[in-house]
Amino acid sequence: MNTNAAPELDIDDSAELPKPRTGMIRIYAIPLIGFAVIAVAFAIGLTMDPREIPSVLIGKKVPEFSLSAVQGRTLGLSDTDLRGEVSLVNVFASWCTACRQEHPLLMDLAKRNIVPIHGLNYKDKPDDAQEWLDGLGDPYTRTGADINGRVAIDWGVYGVPETFVVDKEGRIAYKQIGAITQKILDEKILPFVKRLQNEGDAK
């Protein structure tokens, strides 16, 4: 008989391991669920083009406003000026780099005389705005000086540049966030303008 053999342990196979408490599982799951929701929302946000953010003013009359002309110009801009014909309202500023990038397209569009373009000059110094338009050219029929930015806020402007298509009844029909490119102009803005112009002619 081997007296050095290790004693056998009496193990009960039917014994169950202690179960984790349900409440503890829920507590640990809450942060994980929250993280998952945030991750999904972030992933969806990455797929969205910020230029496609809809405006709550689409289909509504432009806000009531009246702005004096930009320094060096004679025609200011008000809501009553945006009735009777389809037009564009371009929000710009001399300090805006993207505005400088899109400006040649606005100049070319103005020369083609397809649609009147009006300028909403956002939070600019009068001298700077005048120098900017005198130096780069002025594509605008009317230009309002929104020095304190109040009118732009009423229009729901996120930043500059932005461009709005306004129909003959003075309703905002389309909003472009960010600089206009030739592609955006040819594929979105001008077809929209022409359709509105044709709808008005049909009436």
Q: Tell me, letter by letter, the H, E, C secondary structure of 34-100.
A: HHHHHHHHHHHHHHCCHHHCCCCCCCCECCCCEECECCCCCCCEEHHHHCCCCEEEEEECCCCHHHH
In this prediction, residue 69 carries a pLDDT of 98
pLDDT above 60 for 51: no
Better-predicted residue by pLDDT, 32 or 152: 152
Rg (alpha carbons) of the chain, rounded to whole number: 31
More reliable by pLDDT, 188 or 6: 188
Residue 40: its pLDDT value, please? 38
Kindly tell me if the per-residue pLDDT of 38 is higher than 70: no
Instruction: Give residue 199's pLDDT.
Output: 86
| Sign of the dihedral defined by the CA atoms of residues 125, 172, 86, 88, in that order | positive
Mean pLDDT of the chain: 83
pTM recorded for the entire structure: 0.73
- Cα dihedral 156→158→159→161 (10° resolution): -70
With cut-offs at 50, 70 and 90, classify the pLDDT of residue 4: low
Q: Which DSSP letter does residue 49 get?
A: -
Angle between helices 126-136 and 97-112 (to 10 degrees): 50
- Structure-token pair, residue 50: 């910020």
DSSP string, 85-111: S-EEEEEE-TT-HHHHHHHHHHHHHHH
Q: How confident is the model at residue 57 (pLDDT cuts 50, 70, 90)?
A: confident
Fold of 52-202: Glutaredoxin (3.40.30)
Beta bridge partners of 176: 163
Q: Which of residues 44 and 38 earns the better pLDDT score?
A: 38
User: At residue 162, does pLDDT exceed 60?
Assistant: yes
Are 122 and 159 in contact by the 8 Å Cβ rule? The answer is: no
Closest CA to 98 of 26, 154, 50, 43: 50
Phi-psi region of 123 (alpha: psi -120 to 50; beta: other; left: phi over 0): left
Question: What share of the chain has pLDDT > 90, as a percent?
Answer: 67
Structure confidence by residue, pLDDT tens digits, 93-133: 999 999 999 999 999 999 999 999 999 999 999 999 999 99
More confident residue, 47 or 192: 192
User: Is-contact 56 156, C-beta < 8 A?
Assistant: yes
Which of 12-26, 31-45, 136-150, 153-167 has the least mean pLDDT? 31-45
Q: How far apart are CA 130 and CA 108, in angstroms?
A: 20
